[in-house]
Amino acid sequence: MNSQQFQSLSEHLHTLNFIELKRVRHQVEQMISSNHLGHVMSDCEERINHCPYCAHNKFIRYGTTARGQQRYKCKACNKTFNTLTGTALARLRNQDKWLQYSDGMWLTEKLRPAAKKLCINFKTAFRWRHKLLAHPTESRCQPLAGIIEADETFLNESFKGRKKSMTRKSRKRGGGKVTKVPVFLALDRQGHVAHQVLEADTKEELSAAITPILTPESVLCTDGNLSYQAIVKKLPYELEHKRLISLDNERVKDGIYHIQTLNNWIMRWKAWLVQFRGVGTAYLEHYLAWFRQMDSFKEEQPSWVDVAIMSNITNT
């Protein structure tokens, strides 16, 4: 379109009434979304190098899907696939709305308004949220380096969002006591965060969560919890461990060793969680990954959709 045509188009826009403008906006948003997805998918097509079913690297182009995506056929297992096969977005409908939905997630948009805005149903909005969080959640165990702050926090157990929630007796009503779910968290001073919802608050569970993120070069800072001391002793290498014991009122050692960065992160995460009015324990990891991403990409926020589509490539 040349500048004259563009000028004339924008002049025409001024003549539209409110309803017509809304219609145009809807159309433009859909076009931007499809266009963006098209770019990401073609980028993905260029980089695709293995079959998502058997990981074989020999495959041929095999027509296109009903939505116009390139289809491939694996020479080893004979299965057909496309760029979305194996990602959380495979077989999801309404592609033209994904991007707008993803943008809303950076604003922690609620499900009902998001569903209403995009004319999708509530269940779809719920499913998309958790599909888009699947890959960020899988990559939760990031390697940490240098000074590592580690701690646990506890949340009330919740069966929200689970179909069979009522088949299990509610602990709260039963004995008046609410079960607490332990969550292990750790971060380094470069801003990398690792997290894991634990099955139980035991040394074994804690050890399984913390050991993979430690290296002999790291310095571990924890509170006085004796489990950490026992875990460090069992490591196959010597690890510097700084225990900040609250009874001694010692919050910082040597001016740099403390767990305040982590405690601050946990405080902000819990404050952010409040707006959901209770998160189902089964989805807790997703809400950890969601906040972690929001917290680490403050300026340039990648599309959750791009991350999901590219997960096939980055997994290898």
Site residue total, Zn ion (CB under 5 A): 7
Asked whether position 316 contacts Zn ion by CB under 5 A, the answer is no
What are the tokens at 27?
């159309």
> Would you say 198 and 209 are in contact if contact means Cβ atoms under 8 Å apart?
yes
Q: Does 51 bind Zn ion (CB under 5 A)?
A: yes
Q: Interface with Zn ion includes 56 (CB under 5 A)? A: yes
Is 298 buried (19+), middle (13-18) or exposed (0-12) by CB count in 10 A? exposed
251 to 270: interface string for Zn ion, x by CB under 5 A = --------------------
Q: What is the CA radius of gyration of the chain?
A: 24
Binding of Zn ion at residue 74 (CB under 5 A)?
yes
User: Which range touches Zn ion (CB under 5 A), out of 4-12, 33-41, 55-63, 261-269?
Assistant: 55-63
Closest CB to Zn ion among residues 69, 137: 69
Q: Does 53 bind Zn ion (CB under 5 A)?
A: yes
Q: How far is the CB of 81 from Zn ion (least distance, A)?
A: 8
By CB under 5 A, is residue 105 in contact with Zn ion?
A: no
Closest CA to 293 of 87, 84, 129: 129
Q: How far apart are CA 239 and CA 198, in angstroms?
A: 23
Sequence-ordered list of residues with C-beta below 8 angstroms from that of 219, at least 6 positions apart, any chain:
146, 147, 148, 239, 240, 241, 242, 257
The CB-of-55 to Zn ion minimum distance in angstroms stands at: 7
Of 40 and 51, CB closest to Zn ion: 51
- The label of the residue with tokens 């409908």 reads 93
Nearer to Zn ion, 81 or 304 (CB): 81
In the bound complex, what is the minimum distance in angstroms from residue 61's beta carbon to Zn ion? Answer: 15
Quick one: CA dihedral 96, 65, 139, 112, positive or negative? positive
Of 73-81, 120-128, 219-227, 297-305, the window that binds Zn ion (rule: CB under 5 A) is 73-81
Q: Which of 24, 54, 230, 256 binds Zn ion (CB under 5 A)?
A: 54
Query: Quick check: 198 and 206 in contact, CB under 8 A?
Result: yes
Binding site for Zn ion (CB under 5 A): 51, 53-54, 56, 74, 76-77
